Structure 1
Amino acid sequence: MNLDLARWQFAITTVYHFLFVPLTIGLSLLVAGMQTAWVRTSDERYLRMTKFWGKLFLINFAMGVVTGIVQEFQFGMNWSDYSRFVGDIFGAPLAIEGLLAFFLESTFLGLWIFGWDRLPKKVHLACIWLAAIGTALSAYFILAANAWMQHPVGSVINDERGRAELVDFGAVLTNSTAVAAFFHTITACFVTAGVFIVAISAYHLARDKFTDVATPSMRLGLVTVLIASIGVMVSGDIQARLMTEQQPMKMAAAEALYESAAPASFSIFTVGTLDGSQELWSIRVPGLLSFMATGSLDGLVEGINDVQRASETTYGPGDYIPNVPVTYWTFRLMIGFGALAMLVSILGLWFMRRRAQKPVPRWYFTAALLALFTPFAANTVGWIFTEMGRQPWLVYGMLPTAAGVSPGVSTASVLISLIVFTLLYGVLAVIEGVLMVRYAKAGPPPAGIAEASPDDPEAPRPLAVAY
């Protein structure tokens, strides 16, 4: 009971926190690009775009910081045995993330917020770029820590002390799983930010408001989503092959493949028993799973039963099969939601391309606004797949999940904290939603602003405080 509650608490807080992370990373880089365009061209539209999307970025960033703090505390509260086991390895990238990357982004973000009329334009521009780089570095160090849980490298088990110990920090940072996950995550962040920009721009264009800012924003968002979606597919393909090599059970569970097959087909949709052990009906693409797993249309993909037997031989008796229905459907939902986001961008680019001859149909603006949820849903189910597919391991092949929970924390304590955090995060969700909707509807600042800076001391200063 204690184990299940601890897992639910960590899952709820992590999934909630990760709603903000991709948007923060993607928007920071896109806002930096908008400000770069303004500095280079002096086109006021780019300044208004920077201020509008920058304000929404800051709201999201603040909420991400608040919800992320809880993650650190849970390691010591509910997962003390896990922390003791992995602390020597896991603590290093997290410490660097906090001391280097987070301070880099927070320091220069503060300078960017309050430096609009105090810093030279190029210095002020450098601040947002350094803050954006900081967000990307934060993501890498956190992903490196998580990748070590998926594929432990650069460490040894000290049997006398009963814990893992770091022997090669470079191997942890250059872990192939970390590199692939970072590429996949960053491109997904751009998809998230791009769809966010497209949806809000579509809202204003449907009402013929702020068209001078919404139109270039829409184009930027659409191009970003299309290019980033291609990156997501390429990096996802790389991850699938690494997963087959490093965690064959996860790949088998992603297809609910119980018996090894060569070639192995990919089921787009399956109706089966509740435990996922038997297939009743499915729609399949021949050879696709083999290609995803091995790069060959007739490659061998190990089935759940064979991997289970191999795991028992290596690790001893036990159940090494994750929740197959959850793993199966989250894998498909991740792909499906990502494909919807890409479809919206393709349609949008087609309609925008011929806009001079024919107006963009009204239904597309509605569809683009509704598509706002697709990248967030894809990110969420993607992480659920990643973590649930690794079960029953906390650290793959080293530490079972059941062995990582805190032995001295009562069930009542975990239950109370689970309820409190869930309710608190619900309140924060309402606050975030109200703020985002309010400022998104308000639109960009009015035309005619002339942002002052020390480069131009004679310019008027109507917006001395940017936010």
Structure 2
Amino acid sequence: MDLDIVALSRLQFAVTALYHFLFVPLTLGLSIILAIMETVYVMTGRVIWRDMTKFWGVLFGINFAMGVATGIVMEFQFGMNWSYYSHYVGDIFGAPLAIEGLMAFFMEATFVGLFFFGWDKLSKVGHLIATWAVAIGSNFSALWILIANGWMQNPVGAAFNPATMRMEVTDFAAVLTNPVAQAKFVHTVSAGYVCAAVFVLGVSAWYLLKGRHIELAKRSMTVAASFGLAAALSVAVLGDESGYLSGEHQKMKLAAIEGMWETQPAPAAFTVIGFPDQQARETHYAIHIPAVMGLIGTRSLNTVMPGIDELVKRAEARIREGIKAYDALQKIREAGGTDKVTQGVRGDFEENGINMGYALLLKRYVDDPRQATDEQIAKAAWDTVPQVAPLFWLFRVMVGIGMLLILLTGTFFVLSARRALDRHRWLLKVAVWAIPLPWIAIESGWMVAEFGRQPWVIEGVLPTAVAVSNLGVKTLLITLAGFIAIYTTLLIIEVKLMLKTIRKGPEAEHAPSEGDSRSHIPPARAAVPSSSSTGSAA
């Protein structure tokens, strides 16, 4: 990718988003796990569940603070790096962001304070309500952000106003109930739940391997395994829904994920592995599973999924129709409004206006799309194809890790039911080493969603190349280096604080009992199952 303003603006936003999304999933999942643990404490009165809530709450607090610090910058980037985008769709995109800040974030931040400082000031039920409010607020934050992002993927409930030269809301309810946004929300938060569950599972497994905090670790693993298994299965089901919606609204993205260049007979096969070659327009050494992709993308056995070549031809036709809309728009502007032009001009705009965004793809090659040659139109049509190889492999990394995490959480769910969590030391080691896997899958999924949307910042409406601010390359390079340095420092600080807190362990408030860390069982013995140690997790 050339280091021009568009590429650097994309890279800068991608870097900040990827860093920020290292913290978000753990916040989403740990908030729910904390609420579950404290609910058990209030119901049973057993102080160990209060110990657990406080300990995992400290880790949640560290992560929450870093997530806020990295997230605030992203909202300012819309105005700094993407000024035309902010002008063009600010009436629509700004509303969910404002609601997220006013409603969800303030709610979340307020109750976070009550969670940490209200243990001795609130009743048990009062503090539990505050903890659940933190969890609900965290998830509300994700909801509004993903409503905004989902609208970028499927821009419903809005229309272009030639008088203001902006997109304006026509149906806010349609924006809120956008099926793409809803699918992205449940899929993303479920992935966050898996992330937190695997984190709790891995840290607890480390304690069992070290023979420390046995009671807390076993109970934590029981919660994490059951919660994580349910979430991991949900991710798989909801991912299927996302694939189906992509087949409806983002056909090019789905074709690129599959490396499917030519349209196949229905139902299309799923490519397990292959080597996409964008220059040759072919996927080499592909291994297929018949009919599976057709079921995922269309939920039928007789609906054809178009390949990349056919979609490019459709894009070329839409570009030509978009040029008619662009021409009509210029005539409307020159006349001073829609009421001052002929019925034919208004008709051309109304008929072809939906494709005007495709005409804007030509801005990369010519200032006035109406002056574009056939060769430039063909190039712009091929620009609608995202980078196939990264999409192809990132999707398979995400799915592969997802299947592994279902197996991992399922295994520990069974071990928990059998009171045998510490019976197999090698499985505990696997759980520890599996801690980074959810983050790899989540970051891969985010890149699939955003890579697959290119070259659009708003699908079919506004090309990315048109949406950027007119910043200098030097300015972008300097700020990019600054963001990387600051965010890397914050990440190092978080990891060190997390590790320090984990090594220190919980500050227990209940009396020592057999199997707990304060019974001074040597590590070698603590990892060996016994009737007392396995039974203490009940």
Alignment of 1:146-225 (within 5 A): 146-225=149-228
State whether structure 2 residue 22 is matched by structure 1 residue 22: no
In structure 2, C-alpha distance between the alignment counterparts of 1:120 and 1:398, rounded to whole Å: 53
The offset of 1:311, in angstroms, is 1.5
State whether structure 2 residue 359 is matched by structure 1 residue 322: no
In structure 2, C-alpha distance between the alignment counterparts of 1:24 and 1:90, rounded to whole Å: 24
Alignment of 1:49-448 (within 5 A): 49-261=52-264, 262-273=266-277, 275=279, 277-297=281-301, 299-316=303-320, 317=377, 318=380, 319-356=383-420, 360-407=423-470, 409-448=471-510
Structure 1 vs Structure 2: percent identity of aligned residues?
44
Instruction: Report Cα offsets for 1:298-336 as digits up to 9, x if no partner.
Output: 542110111111112113431210011111111111111
In structure 2, C-alpha distance between the alignment counterparts of 1:436 and 1:382, rounded to whole Å: 25
TM-score after normalising by structure 1: 0.93
The equivalent position to 1:43 in structure 2, one of 46, 49, 69, is 46
> Comparing 274-283 with 253-262, which one deviates more in the overlay?
274-283
Is there any run of 5+ residues in structure 1 with no aligned partner, and where?
Answer: 451-467
The offset of 1:170, in angstroms, is 1.2
The offset of 1:94, in angstroms, is 0.4
- SS at 2:212's partner residue? coil
Is there any run of 5+ residues in structure 2 with no aligned partner, and where?
Answer: 321-376, 513-538
Task: Pick closer, same or farther for the CA change 1:286–1:123 going to 2, 3 Å.
Answer: same
In structure 1, C-alpha distance between the alignment counterparts of 2:277 and 2:113, rounded to whole Å: 54
Kindly indicate whether the alpha-carbon contact (under 8 Å) linking 1:272 and 1:281 is maintained by their aligned counterparts in 2. no
Kindly indicate whether the alpha-carbon contact (under 8 Å) linking 2:150 and 2:180 is maintained by their aligned counterparts in 1. yes
Question: Which residue identity lines up with residue 266 of structure 1 in the other structure?
Answer: F
Instruction: Report Cα offsets for 1:356-399 as digits up to 9, x if no partner.
Output: 5x952111111111111111111101010001101100001100
- SS at 1:257's partner residue? coil
Kindly indicate whether the alpha-carbon contact (under 8 Å) linking 1:34 and 1:49 is maintained by their aligned counterparts in 2. yes
In structure 1, C-alpha distance between the alignment counterparts of 2:271 and 2:90, rounded to whole Å: 40
Kindly indicate whether the alpha-carbon contact (under 8 Å) linking 1:276 and 1:325 is maintained by their aligned counterparts in 2. no
Q: What's 2:527 paired with?
A: none
In structure 2, C-alpha distance between the alignment counterparts of 1:183 and 1:449, rounded to whole Å: 41
In structure 1, C-alpha distance between the alignment counterparts of 2:287 and 2:261, rounded to whole Å: 17
Instruction: Report Cα offsets for 1:53-72 as digits up to 9, x if no partner.
Output: 11100100000000001101
In structure 1, C-alpha distance between the alignment counterparts of 2:279 and 2:410, rounded to whole Å: 38
Kindly indicate whether the alpha-carbon contact (under 8 Å) linking 2:206 and 2:429 is maintained by their aligned counterparts in 1. yes
The offset of 1:162, in angstroms, is 2.0
In structure 2, C-alpha distance between the alignment counterparts of 1:193 and 1:270, rounded to whole Å: 32
Task: Pick closer, same or farther for the CA change 1:307–1:274 going to 2, 3 Å.
Answer: closer
- SS at 1:157's partner residue? strand
Task: Pick closer, same or farther for the CA change 1:276–1:349 going to 2, 3 Å.
Answer: farther
In structure 2, C-alpha distance between the alignment counterparts of 1:251 and 1:217, rounded to whole Å: 39
Question: Which residue identity lines up with residue 390 of structure 1 in the other structure?
Answer: R
TM-score after normalising by structure 2: 0.81
**Greater Rg over alpha carbons, structure:** 2
Q: What's 2:15 paired with?
A: 12
Q: Cα RMSD between the aligned structures?
A: 1.6
Kindly indicate whether the alpha-carbon contact (under 8 Å) linking 2:260 and 2:283 is maintained by their aligned counterparts in 1. no
